[in-house]
Amino acid sequence: MTDDQSLSQIPSADPFALFDEWYAEARLREPNDSNAMALATATPGGAPSVRMVLLKGHGPDLGTGGGGGFTFYTNAHSRKGQEIRANAEAALLFHWKSLRRQIRIEGGLREVAPEVADAYFHSRSRDSQLGAVASDQSRPLDSRTIFLERYEAARARFAGGEVERPAHWTGFTLCPRAFEFWLDRPNRLHDRRRFERRTDGPGWTDMLLYP
Ligand SMILES: Cc1cc2nc3c(=O)[nH]c(=O)nc-3n(C[C@H](O)[C@H](O)[C@H](O)COP(=O)(O)O)c2cc1C
């Protein structure tokens, strides 16, 4: 997509393809963490929370039923993990400042299969694996020294062998029901296009939105 092209000129009716096009540009032009995305979750009562996570897999064939998905990894005992267990609805947000573009994605979450989590866990550096074992993510920590001691204890425990993935360190895949693409335009006449998954069959409907 060229810089002077508007979202209404894109023939693609496939939001995964448009995501890929923008993501490829972000990987070239965004200096840090082009795979960083905000993940919003909420309690069953509707109190929201949001934090950054890293996108570690995506595509139209991921997720259950081949509906496509976006995968991140985390500690399921964390605040986000507890909210996801109680309410599996979430939203993702990519904002690539250098591109002046935003993508919003909404849908339900499913935990990845244990073998998928194992494969990703063991693809990380050994130190990162030990860090995941040592961290009681989102729980109160009395001092940083305690955390570093836990890290050393994990190193000693797995010395010479494979680091075992804690069962609570896992991945979740968001299966999109909606995408929304936002493009900066002059005079704040920004461009928005929303895609919603059809409920009466495969494919997507889409519309432009006022900015
Ligand atoms: C750029 C960036 C990427 C991050 N990626 C992850 C990630 O992939 N998984 C994760 O659990 N936390 C990640 N974090 C830390 C989270 O933002 C957050 O602090 C942590 O997961 C605890 O969130 P919670 O208490 O809401 O569960 C990242 C933070 C930043 C700034």
Angle at 73 between CA 67 and CA 74, to 5 degrees: 130
Residue range 86-107, pLDDT digits in tens: 999 999 999 999 999 999 999 9
Give domain status of residue 38, yes or no.
yes
Q: Which domain holds residue 20?
A: 7-124+167-209
The model's pLDDT over 9-30, given as tens digits with 9 standing for 90+, comes to 777 689 999 999 999 999 999 9
Establish whether residue 35 lines the binding site of ligand 1, counting it when its CB lies within 6 angstroms of any ligand atom.
no
Instruction: With respect to residue 35, please indicate whether it lies within any of the assigned structural domains.
Output: yes
Ligand 1 atom, smallest distance to 75 CA: 11
Do the domain assignments include residue 162?
no
Catalytic residue check, 192: no
The pLDDT confidence band at residue 175, using thresholds 50, 70 and 90, is very high
- Per-residue pLDDT, averaged over 19-46, amounts to 97
Vertex 76: Cα angle to 153 and 80 (nearest 5): 120
The pLDDT assigned to 46 comes to 96
**Whole-number pLDDT of residue 5:** 75
Domain contains 144: no
Report if residue 120 sits inside a domain.
yes
Q: What is the pLDDT of residue 66?
A: 67
pLDDT of 1 strictly over 90: no
Catalytic position from the list 104, 110, 177, 188: 188
Percent of the chain predicted with pLDDT > 70: 96
Q: Which atom of ligand 1 is nearest the CA belonging to 81?
A: 27
Provide the sign of the torsion angle of the four alpha carbons 196, 7, 103, 113, taken in this order. Answer: positive
Where b means 16+ CB within 10 Å and e means fewer, 168-197 reads ebbbbbbbbbbbbbbbeeeeeebbbbbbbb
Closest atom of ligand 1 to CA, residue 51: 17
Query: Over 70: is that where the pLDDT of 65 sits?
Result: no
Q: How far apart are the C-alpha atoms of 197 and 201, rounded to whole Å?
A: 9
The tally of domains found in the chain comes to 1
Confidence band for 184, pLDDT divided at 50, 70 and 90: very high
Residue whose Cα lies nearest atom 11 of ligand 1: it is 74
Is residue 24 situated within a structural domain?
A: yes
Q: Is residue 143 part of a domain?
A: no
CATH code at position 43: 2.30.110.10
